[in-house]
Amino acid sequence: MKKNAFSRVVLTSIVVMSLTLGSFAADSDQTGQEKAQEKPAAQNYTVTRASSEIKVDGVLDEKAWADAVVIKLPFEWLPGDNITPPVDTDCLVTFSKDNFYVAFRCYDPDPSKIRAHLMDRDTTDTLIQDDHIVIMVDTFNDERRGFQFRVNPLGVQADANFSELEGYEDFSWDAIWNSAGKITEWGYAIEIAIPFNQLRFPRTSDIQTWGFSAERSYPRNVRHRITSHRRDRDIQCILCQHNKIIGIQGISPGLNLEFDPTLTAIRTDAREDFPKGSIEAGKIEADPGLTARWGITPNLILNAAINPDFSQVEADVAQLEVNTRFALKYPEKRPFFLEGADFFLTPFEAVFTRTVADPDGGLKLTGKIGKNAVGFFGAYDRINNLIFPANQGSMSASIDQDVMSGVFRYRMDVGKNSTVGVLYTGRTAEDYFNHVAGFDGFFRLSKTKSLRLQYLHSETEYPEDISLKYGQSMNAFGGDAFKAEFFHSGRNWYYLVTYDDLSPAFRADYGYIPRVDMRSIAGLLNRMIWGKRDGWFNRIDFGIDVMATYDHDGNLTDQSINLGGAYTGPLQSSVRIMYTRFRERYIDELYDLGRFIFISELKPAGGLRFNLVGLYGGSVDYQNARKADALTLRPSAELSLGRHININLQHSFQRLSLKGSEIFQANLTQVRLIYNFNVRTFVRAIVQYLDVARNTDLYLSPVTPKTQTFFTQFLFSYKLNPQTVVFIGYSDNYLGMTGIDITQTDKTFFVKLGYAWTK
């Protein structure tokens, strides 16, 4: 399809979306009013301006707290169903011109059993094992998006964006705010101050109404989740059940400016002549950068970056890459891309920002004006990261090529809880382009039922050498993708029907879509049975799901039926067992396979957690194109010693066999040891070891009999806030193969300094 034809597709998408708005808006508004009458009544509260200065120290002795509105937490919504909780909790709310203040008094009959440990901010897997509190504020009161803040009794922070429509809770988002906690003889107290320049809210001089939820997590034999409002299991949306706070007025984000200069210095010493050569000292590479954030209005944010700091001091989670078909995915952790990331969510993951690898600069604008949400960002990248998808596998490449890229997103609220939107992504370089555009919608049909839709069209052209190397078309080509998803989420039943259609020529180079040339339909039906407090179970699930996938030539490529059940109960235990019978096409053969899956977790005490994932049954040996037997085990354990020391152990074992003879065995072990001095400072050591042994007699082409890699990382971290940081670290890599002892290949020293100036 030529450029003009592609433009017509974009315009047609926008016109079709616009024509549907009028009729749907009227119906949705009426449906929304009916739903509002059906919702459980959530109490509203009037907040007043703070009557004194507040010092955030965990001691609620200021006059402002004595005068603040008190919001009780009278409901336990898990595992109980809106029953009286086992402990009492008070939440206090007030505000000043510049800050939103929240405090908690969390009463406990035995404070010695309070679970509280020091850790880095946003270490959510560890934090949720502790006692902690949660607040969520829906500043636009549109029941679509919320800001979430969590604090444990020692003042450890976690924050997240929550998007109702996608069920998206992103703890990668960071705000600069202040918190403190103190354990007392009656329980513990929490104090929070959130600057208004860290939030988005309507630009108005009128009194504002915000959605608000206060929650307490009380983990003992089970994790009691206690909240300030009812949580009806027969209502799908969460934000629509929140309390409302009224009375916020005359607030200011100040200049709403933030400048984050950074300096990263790295030196890598490498062994060029492996394995016998010596390690040669590398040059010190100093990399200064600047990221700026300007709140044009309280609800419209502009981000700009010059040589932005996209370095990562956190090692990517280790993953086994043996006998895999599709490209692996690693989470985004870079601050520039995390700002307003939820604005770019769609049913297809057409925007995955880790495709931007090493940009010289970037610009981003995100915000919401009335019912209209808009997002744009652009970057000039020095590396072109590509995925070449197909039905039965994908390949990936990183090409040393300058790339201009950009994303535009527009979404409009329709009715009470629905939206429609358009998306465009584009990447261009010499002899290369990829453009994707289309429309999407989320429609809340009732309290429990929703529908998601998306259509995308892509136009792509690769350089001639890339097309030849990776088997792609030598000319420009276009493709389409369509997704429809209907689901019901109620108290006792959950069911889902999805349909996906991606043509062979569809490409989304800005996203993560590793599989195309497929038409897939799937369905799931699940029954939930709820237990009673102090019973032998909290919840039992059992259900069935089915799936069938065909390529665009009509060949069946995947088919499955899964039967399974799950149990959650005392000691915060959970077990899921599933048997799946499936068919999988690889190259020209359709394999019939069966497999058992086992997943379990246990949290018997504070700071102690065990997990085990197991898989046994039929598989496909992709390297040799034949049926095989697979065994996978992934045990993990986490242990906190006192308040300061945290140890995390993870292991992945994978074995593939042919008629009882082992084809390969892979073991991947990761050990993470952390000593936390306080809420701002820690030292950490990470060790990763991979050992892969192959039986060369069972391979159809030559392979290395044994491969070993070893990785270590040591880090000192000080964080005054998410952007004012000092990191000092060291990492190295080792490689061993058959006939070569494990030998160091390189080592890296790095220092990172960051400072956040806000006004």
DSSP class of residue 747 equals E
Whole-number Å distance between alpha carbons of 165 and 163: 6
CA torsion angle 147 151 157 163 (round to 10): -20
Whether residue 243 is found in the same domain as residue 350: no
Provide the pairing of β-strand 284-297 with 681-694.
unpaired
| Average pLDDT, integer, range 651-677 | 96
Whether residue 217 is found in the same domain as residue 342: no
Helix (H, G, I), strand (E, B) or coil at 468: helix
Residue type, 381: D
Contacts of 104 (CB under 8 A, 6+ apart): 89, 90, 91, 92, 133, 189, 190, 214, 216
**3-class DSSP string for 87-153:** CCEEEEEEECCCEEEEEEEEECCCHHHCCCCCCCCCCHHHHCCCCEEEEEEECCCCCCEEEEEEECC
Q: Is residue 66 part of a domain?
A: yes
Q: Which residues face 631 on adjacent strands?
A: 616, 655
Which structural domain range is residue 69 located in?
39-248
Q: Is residue 129 part of a domain?
A: yes
Alpha-helical regions (H) of 350-446: none
Instruction: Give 332's pLDDT tier (boundaries 50, 70, 90).
Output: low
Residue type, 97: K
Domain boundary among 229, 248, 267: 248
- Cα(first)–Cα(last) distance of the chain, in Å? 50
Token duo for residue 140: 């636009």
Q: How many domains does the chain have?
A: 2
Token duo for residue 82: 């809106």
The pLDDT tens digits of the residues spanning 336-391 come to 777 777 889 899 999 988 788 778 888 999 998 889 999 999 988 888 888 899 99
For residue 78, the domain's CATH number is: 2.60.40.1190
Instruction: Give 545's pLDDT tier (boundaries 50, 70, 90).
Output: very high
DSSP class of residue 446 equals S
Residue type, 468: L
Alpha-helical regions (H) of 313-463: 335-338
Whether residue 211 is found in the same domain as residue 351: no
pLDDT in the model for residue 383: 84
Closest CA to 542 of 498, 583, 575: 575
The pLDDT tens digits of the residues spanning 456-471 come to 999 999 999 999 999 9
The pLDDT tens digits of the residues spanning 121-146 come to 999 989 999 999 999 999 999 999 99
Domain boundary among 230, 248, 266: 248
Closest CA to 363 of 452, 428, 292: 292
Whole-number Å distance between alpha carbons of 356 and 398: 11
Whether residue 234 is found in the same domain as residue 345: no
| Average pLDDT, integer, range 175-199 | 96
DSSP class of residue 539 equals E
Whether residue 244 is found in the same domain as residue 343: no
Phi, psi (5° rounding) for residue 493?
A: -135, 140
> Considering the chain, what is the average pLDDT of its residues?
89
Q: Is residue 9 part of a domain?
A: no
Whole-number Å distance between alpha carbons of 639 and 110: 23
Q: Is residue 272 part of a domain?
A: no
Domain boundary among 201, 219, 248: 248
Q: Is residue 483 part of a domain?
A: yes
Whether residue 357 is found in the same domain as residue 493: yes
Instruction: Give 96's pLDDT tier (boundaries 50, 70, 90).
Output: very high
Question: CB atoms < 10 A from the CB of 128, how many?
Answer: 17
DSSP class of residue 471 equals T
Whether residue 344 is found in the same domain as residue 486: yes
Whole-number Å distance between alpha carbons of 177 and 120: 15
The owner of tokens 């029954």 is 527
Q: Is residue 696 part of a domain?
A: no
Q: Is residue 114 part of a domain?
A: yes
Mean pLDDT lowest among 187-191, 204-208, 313-317, 685-689: 313-317
Instruction: Give 57's pLDDT tier (boundaries 50, 70, 90).
Output: very high
Whether residue 227 is found in the same domain as residue 345: no
The pLDDT tens digits of the residues spanning 264-310 come to 889 999 998 898 889 999 999 888 988 899 999 888 999 888 876 65
Residue 743 has pLDDT above 80, yes or no: yes
Whether residue 52 is found in the same domain as residue 185: yes
Per the CB < 8 A criterion, the answer to whether 230 and 42 are in contact is yes
H or E segment and range at residue 29: helix 3-38
Mean pLDDT lowest among 23-32, 214-223, 402-411, 552-561: 23-32
Whole-number Å distance between alpha carbons of 58 and 151: 11
Q: Is residue 358 part of a domain?
A: yes
Percent of the chain past pLDDT 90, that is, above it, reads 74
Which range, 86-95, 140-149, 304-313, has the best average confidence (pLDDT)?
86-95
Whole-number Å distance between alpha carbons of 415 and 445: 11
Instruction: Give 105's pLDDT tier (boundaries 50, 70, 90).
Output: very high
